[in-house]
Amino acid sequence: MTALDTDALGAWVREFARAVTEHRDELTELDSAIGDADHGTNMDRGMTAAVAALDATPPADAAALLKTVAMTMISKVGGTSGPLYGTFFLRMSGAVGDGSPAAFAAAFRAGVEGVVARGKAEPGDKTLLDALLPAADALTEAVGAGQGLDTALRAAADAAAKGRDSVTPLVARKGRASYLGERSAGHVDPGAASAVLLVEAAATTLARS
Amino acid sequence: MAQVGIVVVSHSRPLAEAAVELARQMLPGSTVPIEVAAGTDDGGLGTDAVAVSAAITAADSGDGVLVLMDLGSAVMSAETALELLDEDVRARVLLSPAPLVEGLVGAAVVAAGGADRDRVAAEALRGLAPKQAHLGG
């Protein structure tokens, strides 16, 4: 059984932070089209601070690592992505399990359910959930079918990207973008775009662990 | 006499502090606890759930806390802050859907008079009534 230990999850978080920094301007540009133009800078501030917090105080275990990321995100991001991503990592932290792929899939789903509870969004509202929910489904299904973690995470990342793209034509029903009504249609949702980076980072780091 | 605390959550620290100043003007000599959790720690616009939970703890003297918010992430940060509190404190906290400025002034006045939490919350919700009556809305 593959071990998803503290080092592996740390590598995931660091790769997500790196990807957020790399795509910071792009995320902000997406948000300037349909929101308040801060998603890239907010996420970058939060994830950069999360990595700094992990460096400052190396976590004792996987749950502590995810909790540090959670608390940093809810404190430092500033916008709604702080409570949303923070709750994702907080609920994952409480469900981390034995480090097996099945436990990781269950913890990931617990995190996504935390985002559902926090944001009260539904599929098709054009939010990060439109990437996270299909990713959780694909991950659970692939792991449940006995596929390796690399295959399962690739399926999850592909499902997240497909979910992000599926809501681009839709009108946003949550957050600042919902004030724009029809004008939000045709734009990529910034939250769904950053959520794809999160799952893609898992596919590129955890599959090797 | 109850001492209900009030917490103001806003994206902007100047906005929150000005709202508190406006409310305090109505309360000469009052020590009603009003705490602010507003802005990012680098002085920008944003909300911080950890700061909100600390403000709630500071405002709480055991008789309950009413939390007033502006919009968007202020609401989600306030909800997240509840998760960070001890259960006994959380049970005393109420997040108010009242308008921030009007709700704060109304709530602060009755809190200073020693009203209990539910009475303070009800007064916050009535915050728009004088303006609506005046404008015929």
Question: Is residue A208's pLDDT more than 70?
Answer: no
Query: Above 0.85 for ipTM, yes or no?
Result: yes
Q: In the prediction, which pLDDT does B118 show?
A: 97
3-state helix/strand/coil string of B24-90: HCCCCCCCCCEEEEECCCCCCCCECHHHHHHHHHHHCCCCCEEEEECCCHHHHHHHHHHHHCCHHHH
- The C-alpha atoms of residue A59 and residue B28 are separated, in whole angstroms, by 49
**φ, ψ for residue A132 (rounded to 5)?**
-75, -40
Domain ranges in chain A are 6-208
**Segments forming the whole domain that contains residue B10:** 5-135
**Residues in chain B where the model's pLDDT stays below 50:** none
> Which residues of chain A from 89 to 118 reach within 8 Å of chain B, CB to CB?
90, 118
Angle value at C-alpha B117, between B113 and B121, nearest 5 degrees? 95
Burial of A190 (0-12, 13-18, 19+ CB in 10 A): buried
Catalytic residues of B: 11
> Which residues of chain A from 169 to 208 reach within 8 Å of chain B, CB to CB?
175-176
* Mean pLDDT in residue range A34-51: 94
Q: Which candidate from B44, B45, B77 shows the least CB-CB separation from A83?
A: B77
If one counts the domains in chain B, the total is 1
* Mean pLDDT in residue range A54-65: 96
pLDDT by residue (tens digit) across B113-122?
Answer: 999 999 999 9
Could you tell me how many residues make up chain A?
Answer: 209
pLDDT by residue (tens digit) across B31-60?
Answer: 999 999 999 988 899 999 999 999 999 999
* A6-208: in CATH 1.20.1300.10: no
| CATH number of the domain within which B52 lies | 3.40.50.510
Residue with tokens 């709630």: B56
Terminal CA-CA length for chain A: 10
